Structure 1
Amino acid sequence: MHHVGITVTDLATAVAFFEALGMELEGKAHAEGEFVDGVIGLDGSVSEIAMLKTPDERYRIEFSQFQTPRSVDGGSHAPINALGLRHVAFVVDDLDATLTRIKPHGAEVVRNVETYQEMLKTCYVRGPEGILIELCEYFR
């Protein structure tokens, strides 16, 4: 896998949130033209994109903010059991510290932080635009 793409209405907020999670901005670009339209299947598209990578450079998330055509709500606050892509999961070294770091960026724990058999501490968090994030801290 190379990356996961997420469309947002506020690119700067999404980038800041995921940087607070520990991802690194790899680059930004303006995207439009015949090539882009042919790939994504939208005529006259104009967007700004940002690619973020994990610190180990193995995984990436591409965020797109469209100027045209106008984005449509794809169920940004759908529950976890809705069909389709629902969450992105990250392993973190310290779950409590991570939550403290991302809270100023709008992160809200969905319900509880839970511990499973003294092996794992985990929770779901809603980030910008309702993006669901699972955070996992494994005990060693």
Structure 2
Amino acid sequence: MSIKLENVGIAVRDLEATISFFIDLGLEVVVRDTISGAWADTAVGLDGNHTRIAVLKTPDGHGQIELFEYLHPAAIETEPTLPNEVGMHRVAFSVDDIDATLEIASRHGCYPLRGVATYLDIYKLTYLRGPSGIIVMLAQDLKSG
């Protein structure tokens, strides 16, 4: 038996704003679609499931996220996840220049939760709150260049 991670799915309140954020960070849209019908109801477990989706991939082609905006049933707002809460936690990216990446994120109104930390002179890293409250971890390897 083999297994391969296809993507991580994230429900968002504004698909276009979230796509824009991740494109500016360097991801690329590979699929956009509107999903509905009996097959979607069965697969997801929601009657009348109707969503707009976008799948984005990292430049290296190894990572993908699927963003979905519910049209029906209506999306349910929740409090933003805290770093210590059990459940789906964050999406993490390695970046070449964390300061430049944070400048891009700031243009979307997204800032570090507290600041940028250095771990053992190996990584600079931070968590930031992205669109729809998504926690995004950015890490820059200080040993590679």
Question: Displacement, 1:73?
Answer: 2.4
Alignment partner of 2:72 out of 60, 64, 68: 68
Letter in 1 for 2:62: R
Alignment partner of 1:122 out of 122, 125, 129: 125
Alignment of 1:1-140 (within 5 A): 1-75=5-79, 77-139=80-142, 140=144
Q: Is the 8 A contact 2:93 2:138 kept in 1?
A: yes
Give the whole-Å Cα distance in 2 for the aligned partners of 1:67 and 1:20.
Answer: 25
Give the whole-Å Cα distance in 2 for the aligned partners of 1:36 and 1:73.
Answer: 22
SS at match of 1:70: coil
Gaps of 5+ in 2: none
Count residues with an aligned counterpart.
Answer: 139
Q: Is the 8 A contact 2:81 2:135 kept in 1?
A: no
Q: Which runs of 4+ in 1 moved over 4 A?
A: none
SS at match of 2:26: coil
Give the whole-Å Cα distance in 2 for the aligned partners of 1:80 and 1:2.
Answer: 24
Give the whole-Å Cα distance in 1 for the aligned partners of 2:118 and 2:55.
Answer: 32
Question: Displacement, 1:20?
Answer: 1.2
The share of aligned pairs that are identical, in percent, is: 38
SS at match of 1:115: strand
Give the whole-Å Cα distance in 1 for the aligned partners of 2:103 and 2:78.
Answer: 29
SS at match of 1:6: strand
1:103-136 deviations in Å (ceiling 9; x for gaps): 1112111001011221110000101111000100
SS at match of 1:30: strand
Question: Displacement, 1:27?
Answer: 1.5
Question: Displacement, 1:81?
Answer: 0.8
